[in-house]
Amino acid sequence: MEKQWWKEAVVYQIYPRSFNDSNGDGIGDLRGIIEKIDYLEQLGVDAVWLNPIYKSPNDDNGYDISDYRAIMDEFGTMEDLEELMSLLKARDMKIIMDLVINHTSDEHYWFKESAKSKDNPYRDYYVWKDGKNASPPNNWKSFFGGSVWEYDKKTDQYYLHLFSKKQPDLNWENKKVREELYEMINWWLEKGIDGFRLDVINLISKNQDFPDGKEGGLCGHEHFANGPRVHEFIQEMAENTYNNYDAMTVGETPFVDKDEAIKFVKEERQEFSMIIPFEHVEFDKKGAWENISQWELKELKDLMTEWQYKLQQNNGWTSLYFCNHDQPRIVSRYGDDGKYRKESAKMLGTLLHTLRGTPFIYQGEEIGMTNISFNSLADFDDIETRGYLNDLKEKGEMSKEEMLEIANYRSRDNARTPMHWDDSKFAGFSNVEPWIKMNDNYPEINVEKDLQSEDSVFKYYQQLIALRKEYPVFVYGKYKLLLEADPNVYTYLREGEENNLLVMLNFSDQPVKIDLQNELEIENAELLLNNYNYEPEFSLEPQLKPYEARMYLF
Ligand code: ISL
Ligand code: CA
């Protein structure tokens, strides 16, 4: 297993719009991030990943880029970014940019040209098709609800958009498109960017017959996810761009299982450093956004374990995450955001930092921020949420109250409310009403409070990160599941060259006793960290408190 800086790093994800507003317009910005570099250093992270900051009309908060080489007006200027880069560098922190190259904005110059006429030189930069008997070319469904095809009157054809109609898909079959993109990627690498998180990168190759999709799940995905030329395109891109640098690349890959994952991350294949898996944050949906289903720890353990084994057997790496800008807050999902908020947030943080992979912390997770409870459907800003709510309204089977409950549980807005810095009005995020409603629990949950208290979630994350730096077993140790059948406790080993790490995580709100006598032949181990204020002696039959997490070294 080769050593790499990006295996050893802990990444902090910043959603710039909601992180810190420096100029009082209610929108977070680059200078706002600059103001918080001390905070990042104090936490101890090694790299930051910024969600898209490029010029964009913001139909999907920056995932619709109209100019890849310019900064979004609200976020600041290129000089601000350069300053941020050099300040991070001075503290030994890397910077990872989001790279959205499956689609652009419809306001990108290429698309504006492309839409002008069938014989425009940019026409083939996008995917244009004739309709079928006055209907769209096929039945594929968009990630944001509705058809993937938008009819254009002027040229009497449809264009493809897997996301919103303001996010037309680029035509990767066209070599010119690929070359333009590679040139742009190299431009950023030359500027000193340390790597990329590549948005929905496994969707770039579409089945060129454009056949109808099967019903069930997102219709058509078998024809546009992991398509026929996806690995050819990625290898070509890698060779021509980031593989010539010591860059970290994180491929975002919906609809990828563990077998497919290997093709993207097996070290010898030189495609990506790691991917962003989905199964462990999707299994509780049971296929539909509107399902608020019960989930079992056993399922989560099995999934994580299968991935961990598969990757380590095949010399592949992964990112580890439970929160990001697309996911509801994990403490409200797999933890308990009421009575045991702190304990369960720390327990989940332990899992994040002790599996084999690179941990990604999403802003606010390190203080245990929770889901929102908006009281009106009109409060939701996210384009995905609005799309799904529209579909549900059209079906007409649900009351407004039911839809509100689902949206509060599932919406991406859960992660997008402003960061809680302190208990002042607007939580120290801004001095004016922010672009999106605040989570109203900021007086109880905020950074200032966590920095003042010894047993805060923040202090615990700080310790996790420090331990990960101190003991190579956290990074390079082999993963091994223990007590596979236990329905409440997730127990595993990381087996290292110098020492072994034993992790026990109680996922229930009850005390639970486990028995490791058949699993381990050791008498003693050193307690590294636990999430309650006491120092439990090592035992092979420990009794764990509700949501208790313990780590031992031997
Ligand atoms: O967010 C999701 C689940 O709630 C996914 O459907 C998500 O849209 C998908 O994983 C792709 O996400 C990425 O690309 C989108 C953008 O809206 C997301 O924010 C981004 O992370 C389109 O660029
Ligand atoms: Ca601002």
pTM beyond 0.95, yes or no: yes
The confidence band for 117, taking pLDDT boundaries of 50, 70 and 90, is very high
Q: Tell whether 319 is covered by a domain.
A: no
Q: Has 252 been annotated as catalytic?
A: yes
Q: Tell whether 117 is covered by a domain.
A: yes
Ligand nearest to the CA of 30: 2
In angstroms, rounded to a whole number, what is the distance separating the alpha carbons of residues 440 and 420? Answer: 10
In this predicted structure, the answer to whether residue 127 has a pLDDT above a threshold of 80 is: yes
User: Do residues 74 and 120 make contact, with C-beta atoms less than 8 angstroms apart?
Assistant: no
- Sort residue 404 into left (φ over 0), alpha (ψ -120 to 50) or beta: alpha
User: Do residues 500 and 494 make contact, with C-beta atoms less than 8 angstroms apart?
Assistant: yes
Q: Tell whether 327 is covered by a domain.
A: no
User: Do residues 90 and 40 make contact, with C-beta atoms less than 8 angstroms apart?
Assistant: no
User: Do residues 30 and 71 make contact, with C-beta atoms less than 8 angstroms apart?
Assistant: yes
Domain boundary among 382, 410, 438: 410
In angstroms, rounded to a whole number, what is the distance separating the alpha carbons of residues 491 and 551? Answer: 10
3-state SS, residue 327: coil
Q: Tell whether 8 is covered by a domain.
A: no
| Token duo for residue 342 | 């702190």
Q: How far is the CA of 400 from the centre of ligand 2 (A)?
A: 34
- 67-71 and 54-55 as β-strands: parallel, antiparallel, unpaired? antiparallel
Q: Tell whether 130 is covered by a domain.
A: yes
The confidence band for 291, taking pLDDT boundaries of 50, 70 and 90, is confident
Span 69-107, pLDDT tens digits: 999 999 999 999 999 999 999 999 999 999 999 999 999
Residue with tokens 């490791």: 516
> What CATH number does the domain containing 122 carry?
3.90.400.10
- Residue of the nearest CA to atom 8 in ligand 1? 143
pLDDT at res. 215: 85
pLDDT at res. 137: 98
Residue 415, classified by CB atoms within 10 Å of its CB into exposed (0-12), middle (13-18) or buried (19+), is buried
Pocket test for ligand 1, best of 97, 200, 283, 323 (most atoms within 8 A of CB): 200
Residues with CB under 5 A from ligand 2 (ion): 21, 23, 25, 27, 29
Domain boundary among 410, 431, 456: 410
Q: Is the ipTM of this complex over 0.90?
A: yes
Mean residue pLDDT across the chain: 97
Domain total in the chain: 3
The confidence band for 304, taking pLDDT boundaries of 50, 70 and 90, is very high
Q: Tell whether 500 is covered by a domain.
A: yes
pLDDT at res. 294: 83
Domain boundary among 393, 410, 427: 410
Span 130-180, pLDDT tens digits: 999 999 999 999 999 899 999 999 999 999 999 999 999 999 999 999 999
Q: Tell whether 520 is covered by a domain.
A: yes
Q: Which domain holds residue 403?
A: 373-410
Pocket test for ligand 1, best of 166, 326, 385, 389 (most atoms within 8 A of CB): 326
The confidence band for 399, taking pLDDT boundaries of 50, 70 and 90, is very high
Give the list of residues 6+ apart from residue 63 with CB closer than 8 angstroms, or none: 52, 56, 98, 100, 163, 167, 199
The confidence band for 217, taking pLDDT boundaries of 50, 70 and 90, is confident
Task: Give the type of residue at 94.
Answer: K
- Percent over 70 (pLDDT), the chain: 100
Q: How far is the CA of 429 from the centre of ligand 2 (A)?
A: 10
Q: How far is the CA of 71 from the centre of ligand 2 (A)?
A: 13
Pocket lining for ligand 1, CB < 6 angstroms: 60, 63, 100, 143, 163, 199-200, 252, 254, 325-326, 384, 412
Q: Has 29 been annotated as catalytic?
A: no
Q: Tell whether 54 is covered by a domain.
A: no
Q: How far is the CA of 427 from the centre of ligand 2 (A)?
A: 15
